[in-house]
Every structure is written in C-alpha cells, then in structure tokens.
Structure 1
Amino acid sequence: MAIVTGTAGNDTIQPSGNSAGVVGGLPGAGADSINGLGGNDYINGSDGNNTMLGGDGNDTIYAGIGNDSIDGGVGNDYITYSGSSGGSDTILGGAGNDTIYTFDSVGSVNGGTGQDIVYLSGVAGVNWNVAALGIETVYASDGSDTLNGATHTVAIYLKGYDGDDSLVGGTVGDRLDGDGGNNTMIGNGGDDTIYGGNGDESASGGGGNDNIYLYDGNNTLDGGDGNDRLDVGFGDNRLTGGAGNDYLDGSYGSDTLDGGIGDDTIDGSYGHDSIVGGAGNDRIYASAEAVFISGGAGNDSFYGEGYSGISLNLLTAGFEYAEGTYGADNFNAAGLTGAVTLYGSYGADTLIGGAGNDYLNAGAGNNSLNGNAGNDTLYGDNSRDTIIGGAGNDYIYAYDGNDSLSGGDGNDTIYGLGDNDTISGGKGYDSMDGGAGRDTIDYSYLTAKVTIDLVAGTATFVPAAGEATETIRNFENAIGGAGGDSILGNDYANSLVGNAGTDTLDGGNAADTLDGGAGVDLLIGGNGADRLIGGADNDIFRFIATTQSPVGVGHDTIADFQGAGAPVLDRIDLSFIDARLGAAFPGNDAFTFIGTGAFTGVSGQLHAVASGANSLIQGDTNGDGVADFEVLVLNVSAATWVATDFIL
C-alpha cells in the first residue's frame, strides 16, 4: 500500500498505477484532490473542500469538515466522517453496495448502482427521492424526514427515527420502520412490511400482501389490495383491510376495524370496538365491550372473547356461525333462511336457530336451545338444558343433566342420556330415548287420546293424519294430555299423570305414584306400595288382587279420596278380588262392608279402621279374622265410610 500525506496546501494525490491502496492524511485546510484508482483504498480528506475519488475497489473514505465531493467509484465502498462534524458534501457511491454516513448538513447523496445504505446522523431532516438517488436503505435522522422510494424497482428499507417521518416504499416488497414520532408510511406495490412506534401513525400497504405492525398510539392502517396483516397495540385505532383475505388485530382500545372485500379474520379483542367484516366469508373475534359488529356479505363466523356474555342477532349482524364467550351468551338466528351453526361455551347460553337446517351445541352451563324451523341438530351438555327442536325433523342429544327436551313439529329423534330428563316429542312421529336416570315422557300438549305403554316402549295417538305410534325407550314416568289417555307403567317406580280427560292409569310393578288429574279416572296401582291421587271429578281406585296392597308398610295409599259417605263421588273398586276363598265358595264373590266393626271370622268381610285422622280399609278373604289386605286412605275418618263408597 502506498501511503501519501499531503501538505497544508491544495494537494493532488494520485498513485502511478493500480496500487493496493492509498492513504491520504491531509493535516491542512487546503482544497485537496485524491484519486485512489484501483485497489481497496483508505482515503482521509481531513479539513478543506476536498475531492476524493475511490476508484475501483472496496474503498474507505473519510470526509472532513469542509464541503467535500466524494465518489466511491466501482466497489463496495464505506464513506463516513473522520471528525465530529461534516460539511455540505456531495457524495456519489458509484457502482457497488456502498455504505454512506452523513453528518450535520449534507449537500447531496447518490448511492449509484448497487444496494446502497445511507445513515443520516446529526441532520435536521431531509426530503429525498431515494429512488432517484439510487439508495435502497436509509436510516433517518433525528428530524422529520421524507423518504420517497415510490419508483424504486428493487426492495428498499426505510427506517425513521425520532421525528415525524414520511416513508414511501417502491414497487416491490419493502420494509418501512417508523420507530418514534407520528409517522406516515406507504408501502405501495409489493409485499411490504411496515413497523411503527408509539406515536399516532398512518400506514398504508398498497398493493401486495402486506404486514403492518403499529404499536401504542392512535393509528390508522390500510392494507390496500392483497392478503394483508394489520396489527396494533394500545390506543384507539382504525384498521381497513381492503381487497384480499386480510387479518386485522385490534388488541386493546376502542378500535374501528373493516375487513373490506375478501375472506378476512378480524380480532377486535377488548375495548369498545366497531367491527365490519365486509364482503367475503369472514371470521370475527370480539368481546362484549364491542359497540357494533357486522359480518357483512358472505358466510361469516363470530367468535366471542372474554368472560362477559354477548348478545348477537345473526340476521341483522350478518353471521351464519357463532361461538360464545365464557359468559352467558344470547345468539338469535330467527329470520335467517339458510343453515346456521351456534356454539355456546361455559355460561348459561341461549341459542336460537333460524329456518334452515341448523346445528346448535350448548356447551357447559344451564342452556336454552331452540332450533326453530328446519331439520336441526341440537346438542346439550352435562348441565340442566332446555332444548326445543321446533318445526322440522330434528335430532336432539342431551348428555347428562336434568334436561327438558321438546322435539316440536316434525318426526324427531331425541336422546336424554344421563340424569332425570323430561322429553316431549311434539307433533309428528318421534323416537325418544330417556337414557339413564328417572326420565319422563310428556304428552301434555295432546288433546286427543294417547296410549302410553312403558313396558313395550310405545305411545299411540291419533293425529290429524291418522293413528301414529312412537318409540319411547328407557322412561320411568309419563304425562298424558287432555284426552282419555291410557298409561301403563313398567317394573320401575313410575310417576304417571293423566291430566284432563277420562284416563286409565296402571302402575304395573314397583312403588308408583298415579295422579289422574281432572276427569273421571281409573287408577290401578298394581304391585308395590303405590300412592294414588284421583284429582278432580269422580275417580275409581281399582285393586285386582290382595297382593297389590298387602297389610303393613307395603300397602297402597289413596291421598285424595273425595265423598266418603256421599251418594256418588270417588269409589274403591274391589270387584276383581274374590272375597271368599276356598272350595266351598266357587266363583268371584263380593265383599260385605261391615263399617267399623271387628271381623267376626266370616270370609269376605270389609271394614274401616281408624288410623289417626286417616282410615285403613281392610278385607278378610279366608275368614280367619285377620286382614289379608289393606288400603290407607288419608284424611278420611273411618266412621264416614258407607258401602256405596266401594264397588264390592
């Protein structure tokens, strides 16, 4: 390397050939001219208004205090300052990938060809067309800089600093970094990446698939065309996706988010947000704090966030799919004609379908589901749910919990599964399975007669279209309607309710509870310690055999016998029991009521015995003077009974 030191005057330094390098150490303030020619040169201009040419090679050039003219020439050059301040310099990087540092004021900078980097240091702010200046990377100054690369055809990187900067990208994928200040950033064409700082900033991606990240501050983001990602931090922000399949993340604050055209994903997070999906099949995430939510055109999906429940009208908000928060949500799709999908979550949710073939899933919590019209599928959870299928052929699956299930109109399939469910098929030919637990089949909506057989697992009634038989499996209890119903229990402890009409209730085996309701009813307890309630009107309590109500704790109880001693009200029917047993008394003999007197050893005697305020009706069928069966009648004095209270 040739080492050349100039004088204090105006020197010209040039090697005689392509030397390995030149060092120009110029102690004076003269206007020097240095030409490195070929080689990797080290040039120090020192003081004065110098002209420094790096020539070929990867040169290092230090400008001084004066107003220098610097040309790096061909090669990957490094141009900077040797002191603490610089003059108003004219800098040309030349061909190659150059790195240029400016200091204080700067006259002009041109990177030349190649991938050039400029660091603005100590400058109050510049207004540069970086495309015209051939610069691909700029680190802005402390001031408010304008860096415009709109016509650049290669990727550029523009980084702001503390000032309020304006950064404009070119036609391909650029990176813009606003850093501090209230910046304006425009990506233009290409797949751009834009970062902001903590100021109130504006960023636009332009065409291409852009990523824009602006942090704290009240920011405005516009993705433009393309599949963009817009992400903000704290502050009240405005995000617009534009055309394309965009992702918008509002984070905290009162944000306004608009997905625009395309299949967008929008996450408002928390805050008083206003969210619009726009045209396309959008996915929107929001909390109960949101003040406006709209899916827009297309098949849109809503996802609740947070622990507070949210109410959403899917018709007016434009959604076909919704999932709940951790709170008590209310999703209503009434009025929609297409299929919707609704999911509850952990709260006590209300899910209402529309007119299409909907899917409703309750989630945890005591929920209410209504499928409305259409062939719907409805799922409960392990809580106490109320599920209504509505019109259409519905499928209801309740899981555990004491659920209330109703199919509504149509041919429905209903599974109660675990715990104690109440199931009503509604109009139509239904198939119902109570599952485990003590389940109740409910036909209280019927006005026509229904025949319920819990042993065979069938229910037959006569709707407008003709007789129908439904399948009812795994039920322990049954409720009739307003017609003259017939209900037969099974081997479980049944609860049978006739309701209005002339009903026949037969408990079968086990300890049953029979309630006839209004109407002239016939109650047959069957085997087991049964409780019989006739209800209003003139009812008959029938016993087929002495074993159906034995003496002692296994006897039956009549809870509301009316009219003991009166000409016609309720009656106890013992006519199916042979009152006198033995070969000497063939046939079915009738009992003889002897009032409150004791048995006298004559078979076929029936008497009333006081048991506190109640009565025990006892019969002796073998004449041994000991009761062979008895019925406890509550709140009726033994002395009031007469023979006409019985069918003997």
Structure 2
Amino acid sequence: MVRIIGTNLSEVINSGIAADLLFGRAGNDTLNGYLGNDTLWGEDGNDWLYGSLGDDWLYGGLGDDWLYGGGGNDSLYGGAGNNVLYGDNGHDRLFGETGNDTFRGGNDNDSLFGNDGNDYLMGEPGNDSISGENGDDRLLGHEGDDIVLGGYGNDHASGGDGNDTITGGRGNDTLYGDLGNDSLGGDEGADSLFGGAGNDTIWSMVDDLLNGGDGDDLLYTTGGNTTLQGGAGTDVLSVTTGVNFLYGELGNDRLSSRNADSILHGGYGNDALDAYGGNCTLIGAEGDDELLAVGMRTLLDGGNGNDRLWSRNILSSSSETLIGGAGNDWLNAGYGNSLLSGGSGKDTLSAGGGRCLVSGGSDDDQLSGGSGNSTLNGDDGNDYFGGYSGRGSGSATMNGGAGNDTMASFAASDWLSGDDGNDWVSGGARNDTLFGGNGNDRVEGGAGTDRLHGGAGSDMFEFYEVSESTVGAGRDIIVDFNSQDDEISLFWLREDSAPRFSWSGETASAYGVWAVAQGSNTLLRLDHDGDAVADFEVLLLNTRTSDITQDCLKL
C-alpha cells in the first residue's frame, strides 16, 4: 500500500496499481484512485475524488466535494458541505452528512443514505435502497425494484420503473410509485401518495391523499382524515376510523369503511360499497352497484344503473335514506327511520322495522311494508304493493298514484288507496280501509272488518270467503256503492257442490241473496248453507233496498 499525503495547496494526487491511501489535506484537490482498492480523503477544500477500478472508499471531508466511485463496490462519504456522490458500476454505498447533497447510485444494486440536509438521491439502474433520513429530500428509484424511505422532513419520492417499496416516514411527503407494482406507505404526516401504473398497495396512518392510478390497486388507511382515489382498474379501498372520502373512479371497485364517518363514491363501473359503524354516505354513481350500510345515520344513492341497496341499521334511533336513481333498483331498509326513493326504472323497495316513507317513482315498481309503520307511494307506473306479512305490529299506508296498480294488505291493519287508474285493492287479515280511487277498480276486503271505497268509475267489490264479512260486528262496510256503475261479486262464496246463489229481493231464502233496510243504509245478506238464515252480510251506506237489483250483483 502506498500512502500519499498532499499539502495545503490545490493538487492532483494519483495512486498506482496497488491499494493506496490518498490524503488531499487543505486546498481544492483532485484524487485519482485508479487500480486497486483505494482509500481517498479529500479533507479540507472543494475536492474531486475518483475511485476508478477496485472497491474504493472515498471521503470528501470539509467543503463541497465531488465523489465518483467508478468500477467496483465502492463506499462514498460526502462529509460536510454540499456534495455530489456518484457510485457508477458495482454495488455501491453512498452516505451524505451535513449539507444538501446529490446522489447517483449508477448501475447495479446500490444503497444511498442522505443523512442531514435537503438531498437529491437517485438510484438509477438496479435494485437500490434509498433513505433520505433528515431534511426535505427528493428521492428517485429509477429502474429496478427499489426500497425508498423518506425519513424525517417533507420529502418527494418516486419509484420509477420496477416494483418499488416507498415509505414517506415523518413529515408531509409526496410519493409516486410510477411504473410497476409498487407499495407506498405514508407513515406520519399529511402525505400525498400516487401509485401510478401497475397493481399497487398504498397505505397511510393519518391525514393523507391516496391515489391508485392505473392498475388493480389496494388502498387502505387506519386513521385520520384521508381521501382515497382508486383510479383506473379494479381497486379495493378500505378505511378504519376518522372522516374519510373514498372514490373508486374507473373500474369495478370495492370500497369499505369501518367505524368511520365516510363518503364512498363508486364512480364508473360495477362497484361494491359497504360501511359498518359511523355516519356514512354511499354513492354508487355509474354502473350496476351494490351498497350496504350498518350505522347510525346513512345515505345510500345508487345513481345510474341497476343497483342493490341494503341498510342494516339495528337501532330504532338510527336513520337511513336510500335512493335508487336511474335503473331497475332493489332497496331494502333496516330498523331505523327510513326514506326510500326508487327514482326512474322498475324498482323493488322494502320498508324495514322503523317508520318508513317509500316512493316508487316512475315506471312499474314493487313496494312492500315492513314490521314498522310504513307509507308506500307508487307514484307513476303500474305498481305492485304488499303489506307486512311477518310478525309485528307494523301497518302500512299505500297510495297507488297514477297507473293500474295492484295492492295487497297482509297481517296488519292497513290503509290502501289506488288513486288514479284501474286498480286492484285487497285487504288482509285485519281491519283495513280500502280506496279504489279514480278508474274502474277491483276492491277486496279480505279477513277482518273492512271499510271499502270504490271511488269514481265502475268498481267491483269482491268477496271470496264467507268469513270475510260475517253477520253483525264482523261485517264489512261499503261506503260509496253506486248501483248504476258498481257491482258486488259473491260468485266465489259458493261451494262447488252447492246450488248457485239466487237473488230473492227483500225476502230471505235458501241459497239466496237479499236486501234488508237499516235506516238510510242497506244490509246485503246471503245464505251459504241452504237454511234461509244469513251467514254473510255487508253494509251498504246511504243505499236504499230498492237500489239493489240482480244487475248489480255477480252471483
């Protein structure tokens, strides 16, 4: 080994072919390592150090130095000052110190450490490890599968080509995955993370912006107030706690929120959105989307497309709004106080366990009541209504709106109105109030003591079981019977083996139907078993016995 020590002047010092030790001392020196595994010390002054061939060790010392590793696996230490470090070929290690340094790893797999100062670090070709450490640094992986760590400070990092792992560290960082399947982590601080092209994984801890870019990406955060943007591709976006905004954007995406107050927007594509806990807004936007929410206060909007919306709130104090939007949608409410709106399209809407207001919108919709108290509005179109058929005390108010509607009550005491159109209105097991409305309607009371209103038009009042309107307190009431336009059908009360019923005026007869005056009203009676004693009767308000003829009866 040759040991060469310079003076305090600015000098050029060259090594030989052995492993030499060169000291520049004071002055702006140029040290050339050439062959062998050399050690070069610039010391004081603004020095130029060339390792050349061999595995060299270069230390700039004081001043603004330029260090070039050359061939071999070199170690470069910038020292104090604003230095330039270039590893070139080989697996090199580059270390900054104080000052704002510039690093270039060169070819092969290099390790770059910025240390203090606002540094610029570029790995170049190879699978490099780059750490900014202290200061506001700019880090670029370039080609290869790189590991990039910002460290302390507000850093700007780019992975470049390859499958890179990039972590911001502390501070408010901006990270770009660029090409490849990258992993980006925000760590502490308010960070902005952009995956770029490729299938990326992006995570954060606090108040960050996450953008997946092109590719099938995974974005998630564990706290803070974060905005997640999936970009193009089939993306998965997930948040836990905090106040968050999730945008699926292009592609068929999956968006999830847990114990957070979040807004989820599917964007284009057939998306799946779900939220558990918190007060959340879910918007499907374009495409055929599925939305599920379990929370205290939730808003679900399917947007365009054929969407499926569920709210599974289990507390009666919760509230939920479900909007189908355009398309043939399916809406199902939970146990809270609910508002359901189908919008345009042929929708299916189901009320839940709380107080519900359900509107079908335009087109032909299906609406059903729940175990709570529901108001169902069909609006336009030929709609189908069903009351609640399970256990519970829920009752429904049904308004058919325009169109020829079909309405059926089941287990509860309901209020049904066909409104405009030629409607079929049917009561259930309890005491219902039925309105045919305008048009030529069919009105059936069903079991229970019912009040039947035909409304304007030529209406048919239908009975299918003798038990539907029994003699005395169990009878049904027809409020507005018009013998000139309306008809009462008793045909289906006859047993198959029994004689056909016949009209007997105001006199009781076996298997007969007759009218009995009761003040200003009329009792229409029927004998079902052939003993000339009434088994069935219905009360017609403000109707005289003389108004009833065989022509207004279907026997």
TM-score over 0.5 for the alignment?
Answer: yes
In 1: Cα distance, 2:364 partner to 2:378 partner? 8
Q: Which has the higher Rg, Structure 1 or Structure 2?
A: 1
Aligned residue type for 1:403:
D
TM-score of the two chains, using structure 2 as the length reference: 0.69
In 1: Cα distance, 2:6 partner to 2:523 partner? 140
Cα separation, partners in 2 of 1:422 and 1:179, compared to 1, 3 Å: same
| Kept after mapping to 2: 8 A contact 1:395/1:414 | yes
| Kept after mapping to 1: 8 A contact 2:159/2:178 | yes
5 Å-filtered alignment, 1:145-544, equals: 145-149=92-96, 151-152=97-98, 154-251=99-196, 255-259=200-204, 261-268=205-212, 276-285=220-229, 295-304=239-248, 306-308=250-252, 310=254, 312=256, 314-315=257-258, 320-324=262-266, 326-333=268-275, 336=277, 338-373=278-313, 374-424=318-368, 426=370, 433-439=377-383, 442-445=386-389, 474=401, 477=405, 478-482=407-411, 487=416, 489-500=418-429, 505=434, 507-517=436-446, 527-530=456-459, 533-537=462-466, 544=481
| Kept after mapping to 1: 8 A contact 2:398/2:415 | no
In 2: Cα distance, 1:573 partner to 1:180 partner? 105
Q: Tell me how many residue pairs correspond in the alignment.
A: 493
5 Å-filtered alignment, 1:108-119, equals: 110=60, 113=63, 115-116=64-65, 118=66
* Per-residue Cα deviation, 1:59-100 (whole angstroms, up to 9, x for no partner): xx99999999989968xx9x799xxx99999896976xx695
| Kept after mapping to 1: 8 A contact 2:371/2:388 | no
Q: Report whether the alignment pairs 1:563 with 2:508.
A: no
In 2: Cα distance, 1:155 partner to 1:90 partner? 21
Alpha-carbon offset, residue 428 of structure 1: 5.5
Cα separation, partners in 2 of 1:52 and 1:163, compared to 1, 3 Å: farther
Cα separation, partners in 2 of 1:548 and 1:354, compared to 1, 3 Å: same
Alpha-carbon offset, residue 127 of structure 1: 1.8
Alpha-carbon offset, residue 369 of structure 1: 2.2
In 1: Cα distance, 2:147 partner to 2:523 partner? 102
* Per-residue Cα deviation, 1:570-607 (whole angstroms, up to 9, x for no partner): 788998xxxxxxxxxxx99999xxxxxxxxxxxxxxxx
Cα separation, partners in 2 of 1:437 and 1:70, compared to 1, 3 Å: same
Alpha-carbon offset, residue 190 of structure 1: 1.0
* Per-residue Cα deviation, 1:228-263 (whole angstroms, up to 9, x for no partner): 23322444544333222233344455655442x322
Alpha-carbon offset, residue 417 of structure 1: 3.5
Cα separation, partners in 2 of 1:89 and 1:210, compared to 1, 3 Å: closer
Aligned residue type for 2:103:
L
Cα separation, partners in 2 of 1:506 and 1:572, compared to 1, 3 Å: farther
Give the alignment partner of residue 129 of structure 1, picking from 63, 74, 77: 77
Consecutive unaligned residues of structure 2, counting only runs of 5 or more, are 470-475, 507-519, 525-545
Give the alignment partner of residue 89 of structure 2, picking from 125, 128, 142: 142
Cα separation, partners in 2 of 1:89 and 1:299, compared to 1, 3 Å: closer
In 2: Cα distance, 1:589 partner to 1:283 partner? 71
Aligned-CA RMSD value: 5.2
| Kept after mapping to 2: 8 A contact 1:347/1:365 | yes
Consecutive unaligned residues of structure 1, counting only runs of 5 or more, are 1-48, 55-60, 449-462, 550-555, 576-586, 592-620, 623-627, 634-644
* Per-residue Cα deviation, 1:25-51 (whole angstroms, up to 9, x for no partner): xxxxxxxxxxxxxxxxxxxxxxxx999
Aligned to 1:451: none
* Per-residue Cα deviation, 1:157-201 (whole angstroms, up to 9, x for no partner): 112222322221131221101111222211010111100122122
Q: Which moved more, 1:189-198 or 1:505-514?
A: 505-514
* Per-residue Cα deviation, 1:279-299 (whole angstroms, up to 9, x for no partner): 433444559967x87534544
Aligned to 2:514: none
Q: Report whether the alignment pairs 1:548 with 2:488.
A: no
In 2: Cα distance, 1:228 partner to 1:486 partner? 62
In 1: Cα distance, 2:86 partner to 2:218 partner? 36
* Per-residue Cα deviation, 1:124-154 (whole angstroms, up to 9, x for no partner): 453221125x4522344233332211x21x2
| Kept after mapping to 1: 8 A contact 2:251/2:269 | yes
In 2: Cα distance, 1:310 partner to 1:107 partner? 52
| Kept after mapping to 2: 8 A contact 1:112/1:135 | no
Cα separation, partners in 2 of 1:277 and 1:233, compared to 1, 3 Å: same
| Kept after mapping to 1: 8 A contact 2:126/2:144 | yes
Cα separation, partners in 2 of 1:274 and 1:438, compared to 1, 3 Å: closer
In 1: Cα distance, 2:424 partner to 2:304 partner? 30
Q: Which moved more, 1:556-565 or 1:167-176?
A: 556-565
In 2: Cα distance, 1:122 partner to 1:355 partner? 62
Cα separation, partners in 2 of 1:509 and 1:165, compared to 1, 3 Å: closer
In 2: Cα distance, 1:211 partner to 1:547 partner? 86
TM-score of the two chains, using structure 1 as the length reference: 0.60
In 2: Cα distance, 1:590 partner to 1:498 partner? 21
In 2: Cα distance, 1:378 partner to 1:249 partner? 33
* Per-residue Cα deviation, 1:492-522 (whole angstroms, up to 9, x for no partner): 4333122345767553542223345567988
Cα separation, partners in 2 of 1:172 and 1:413, compared to 1, 3 Å: farther
Cα separation, partners in 2 of 1:569 and 1:364, compared to 1, 3 Å: farther
Cα separation, partners in 2 of 1:331 and 1:520, compared to 1, 3 Å: same
In 2: Cα distance, 1:299 partner to 1:158 partner? 39
Give the secondary structure class of the aligned counterpart of 1:382.
coil
Aligned to 1:597: none
Q: Percent identity?
A: 27
Cα separation, partners in 2 of 1:512 and 1:94, compared to 1, 3 Å: same
In 2: Cα distance, 1:256 partner to 1:135 partner? 35
